[in-house]
A = this chain, B = another copy of it.
Protein backbone atom coordinates (compact mmCIF):
# COMPACT_ATOMS: atom_id res chain seq x y z
CA UNK A 1 0.00 0.00 0.00
CA UNK A 2 1.30 3.44 -0.92
CA UNK A 3 2.04 5.72 2.01
CA UNK A 4 0.99 9.05 0.66
CA UNK A 5 -2.20 10.84 -0.30
CA UNK A 6 -1.18 12.45 -3.56
CA UNK A 7 -3.95 15.05 -3.52
CA UNK A 8 -2.02 17.49 -1.27
CA UNK A 9 0.57 20.13 -2.11
CA UNK A 10 3.55 21.45 -0.17
CA UNK A 11 1.25 23.69 1.89
CA UNK A 12 -0.64 20.49 2.85
CA UNK A 13 -3.64 21.77 0.89
CA UNK A 14 -5.66 19.89 -1.69
CA UNK A 15 -4.65 20.19 -5.34
CA UNK A 16 -5.70 18.56 -8.58
CA UNK A 17 -2.87 16.09 -9.20
CA UNK A 18 -0.66 16.96 -12.17
CA UNK A 19 -1.21 14.36 -14.92
CA UNK A 20 0.29 16.37 -17.78
CA UNK A 21 2.96 13.78 -18.43
CA UNK A 22 0.74 10.68 -18.23
CA UNK A 23 0.05 8.63 -21.33
CA UNK A 24 -3.26 8.53 -23.15
CA UNK A 25 -4.51 4.94 -23.03
CA UNK A 26 -7.85 3.16 -23.28
CA UNK A 27 -9.30 2.71 -19.81
CA UNK A 28 -12.47 1.30 -18.33
CA UNK A 29 -14.01 0.92 -14.90
CA UNK A 30 -16.91 -1.20 -13.70
CA UNK A 31 -18.78 -0.29 -10.51
CA UNK A 32 -21.80 -1.76 -8.76
CA UNK A 33 -24.28 -0.96 -5.99
CA UNK A 34 -27.60 -1.98 -4.55
CA UNK A 35 -30.79 -0.48 -3.24
CA UNK A 36 -32.86 -2.42 -0.73
CA UNK A 37 -36.58 -1.71 -0.48
CA UNK A 38 -39.89 -3.02 0.74
CA UNK A 39 -40.98 -6.01 -1.38
CA UNK A 40 -44.11 -4.11 -2.44
CA UNK A 41 -41.92 -1.33 -3.81
CA UNK A 42 -40.00 -3.73 -5.99
CA UNK A 43 -43.27 -5.18 -7.28
CA UNK A 44 -44.44 -1.72 -8.30
CA UNK A 45 -41.17 -0.99 -10.09
CA UNK A 46 -41.09 -4.26 -11.95
CA UNK A 47 -44.77 -3.92 -12.87
CA UNK A 48 -43.62 -0.66 -14.46
CA UNK A 49 -41.21 -2.64 -16.63
CA UNK A 50 -44.10 -4.11 -18.46
CA UNK A 51 -45.95 -0.85 -18.93
CA UNK A 52 -44.16 2.16 -20.32
CA UNK A 53 -43.82 3.99 -17.00
CA UNK A 54 -40.36 2.85 -16.22
CA UNK A 55 -38.51 3.89 -13.07
CA UNK A 56 -35.34 2.16 -14.20
CA UNK A 57 -35.31 3.93 -17.57
CA UNK A 58 -35.28 7.30 -15.80
CA UNK A 59 -32.73 6.09 -13.25
CA UNK A 60 -30.39 4.88 -15.92
CA UNK A 61 -30.56 8.11 -17.92
CA UNK A 62 -29.69 10.00 -14.74
CA UNK A 63 -26.70 7.74 -14.13
CA UNK A 64 -25.31 8.22 -17.62
CA UNK A 65 -25.77 11.99 -17.43
CA UNK A 66 -24.15 12.18 -13.98
CA UNK A 67 -21.09 10.23 -15.14
CA UNK A 68 -20.40 12.99 -17.66
CA UNK A 69 -20.48 15.63 -14.92
CA UNK A 70 -18.20 13.92 -12.40
CA UNK A 71 -15.55 16.62 -12.58
CA UNK A 72 -18.10 19.25 -11.60
CA UNK A 73 -19.08 17.43 -8.43
CA UNK A 74 -15.94 15.73 -7.15
CA UNK A 75 -13.49 18.54 -6.44
CA UNK A 76 -10.14 16.99 -7.38
CA UNK A 77 -11.36 14.92 -10.37
CA UNK A 78 -10.01 15.73 -13.81
CA UNK A 79 -12.51 16.37 -16.59
CA UNK A 80 -12.50 13.26 -18.76
CA UNK A 81 -14.30 13.01 -22.12
CA UNK A 82 -15.99 9.60 -21.74
CA UNK A 83 -16.20 7.31 -24.74
CA UNK A 84 -18.93 5.02 -23.41
CA UNK A 85 -21.30 4.47 -20.47
CA UNK A 86 -23.56 1.45 -20.06
CA UNK A 87 -25.72 0.55 -17.06
CA UNK A 88 -27.47 -2.75 -16.36
CA UNK A 89 -30.01 -3.73 -13.72
CA UNK A 90 -30.73 -6.98 -11.93
CA UNK A 91 -33.18 -7.65 -9.14
CA UNK A 92 -33.37 -10.51 -6.67
CA UNK A 93 -37.11 -10.95 -7.18
CA UNK A 94 -37.74 -9.89 -3.62
CA UNK A 95 -36.44 -6.59 -2.28
CA UNK A 96 -33.18 -5.52 -3.94
CA UNK A 97 -32.15 -3.96 -7.23
CA UNK A 98 -28.49 -4.11 -8.28
CA UNK A 99 -27.07 -1.64 -10.80
CA UNK A 100 -23.81 -2.19 -12.71
CA UNK A 101 -22.07 0.53 -14.70
CA UNK A 102 -19.26 0.27 -17.21
CA UNK A 103 -17.52 3.52 -18.13
CA UNK A 104 -14.83 3.87 -20.81
CA UNK A 105 -12.42 6.53 -21.96
CA UNK A 106 -9.18 7.03 -23.84
CA UNK A 107 -7.43 9.53 -21.66
CA UNK A 108 -4.63 10.18 -19.17
CA UNK A 109 -6.52 9.20 -16.03
CA UNK A 110 -9.00 6.52 -15.06
CA UNK A 111 -12.78 6.57 -14.76
CA UNK A 112 -13.38 4.83 -11.45
CA UNK A 113 -15.11 7.80 -9.92
CA UNK A 114 -17.27 8.26 -13.03
CA UNK A 115 -18.50 4.66 -12.72
CA UNK A 116 -19.18 5.01 -9.01
CA UNK A 117 -21.04 8.30 -9.49
CA UNK A 118 -23.14 6.71 -12.24
CA UNK A 119 -24.16 3.98 -9.78
CA UNK A 120 -24.88 6.38 -6.93
CA UNK A 121 -27.03 8.65 -9.08
CA UNK A 122 -28.90 5.74 -10.65
CA UNK A 123 -29.77 4.34 -7.23
CA UNK A 124 -30.74 7.73 -5.81
CA UNK A 125 -33.09 8.34 -8.73
CA UNK A 126 -34.80 5.02 -7.94
CA UNK A 127 -35.15 6.26 -4.38
CA UNK A 128 -36.54 9.60 -5.55
CA UNK A 129 -39.15 8.09 -7.83
CA UNK A 130 -40.36 5.63 -5.21
CA UNK A 131 -40.02 7.70 -2.03
CA UNK A 132 -43.74 8.51 -1.96
CA UNK A 133 -44.34 4.84 -1.20
CA UNK A 134 -41.12 3.86 0.61
CA UNK A 135 -38.82 6.30 2.43
CA UNK A 136 -36.92 3.49 4.18
CA UNK A 137 -34.92 2.31 1.16
CA UNK A 138 -31.17 1.81 1.76
CA UNK A 139 -28.34 2.25 -0.76
CA UNK A 140 -25.63 -0.27 -0.07
CA UNK A 141 -22.48 -1.98 -1.20
CA UNK A 142 -21.40 0.66 -3.74
CA UNK A 143 -17.89 -0.19 -4.88
CA UNK A 144 -15.52 -0.54 -7.80
CA UNK A 145 -15.66 -4.01 -9.36
CA UNK A 146 -12.83 -3.82 -11.85
CA UNK A 147 -10.74 -1.29 -13.70
CA UNK A 148 -8.05 -1.50 -16.32
CA UNK A 149 -5.72 0.76 -18.29
CA UNK A 150 -3.10 3.20 -17.09
CA UNK A 151 0.01 2.85 -14.98
CA UNK A 152 -1.72 1.33 -11.95
CA UNK A 153 -2.92 -1.54 -14.13
CA UNK A 154 -5.67 -4.07 -13.56
CA UNK A 155 -7.73 -3.99 -10.36
CA UNK A 156 -10.33 -6.54 -9.30
CA UNK A 157 -12.35 -5.98 -6.16
CA UNK A 158 -11.75 -8.52 -3.39
CA UNK A 159 -14.78 -8.74 -1.11
CA UNK A 160 -13.44 -7.96 2.38
CA UNK A 161 -13.97 -10.67 4.98
CA UNK A 162 -16.18 -9.20 7.63
Cα–Cα distance between A85 and B141 once the two chains are bound (Å):
25
Whole-angstrom distance from the CB of A108 to the nearest CB of chain B? 7
A141-160 interface with B by 8 A CB criterion: 141-144, 147, 152, 155, 157-158, 160
Flag if B130 contacts A5 (CB, 8 Å). yes
**A5-B129, A143-B137 given as contacts; is B13 within 8 A of A56 (CB)?**
yes
The A interface is mostly helix, strand or loop, or mixed, namely: mixed
Whole-angstrom distance from the CB of A120 to the nearest CB of chain B? 5
Flag if A49 contacts B52 (CB, 8 Å). yes
Q: Which residues of B contact A112 (CB under 8 A)?
A: 131, 135
Whole-angstrom distance from the CB of A137 to the nearest CB of chain B? 7
Flag if A139 contacts B138 (CB, 8 Å). no
Q: Apart from A5-B130, A117-B124, A139-B139, list 13 A-B contacts with CB within 8 A.
A: A2-B133, A6-B132, A7-B55, A12-B53, A14-B64, A18-B86, A61-B61, A62-B74, A68-B72, A74-B124, A77-B128, A136-B143, A136-B144
Chain A: residues with CB nearer than 8 A to chain B?
Answer: 1-9, 11-20, 22, 26, 33, 36, 38, 40, 44-45, 48-49, 51-58, 60-62, 64-66, 68-69, 71-89, 104-108, 112-113, 116-117, 120-121, 124-125, 127-144, 147, 152, 155, 157-158, 160
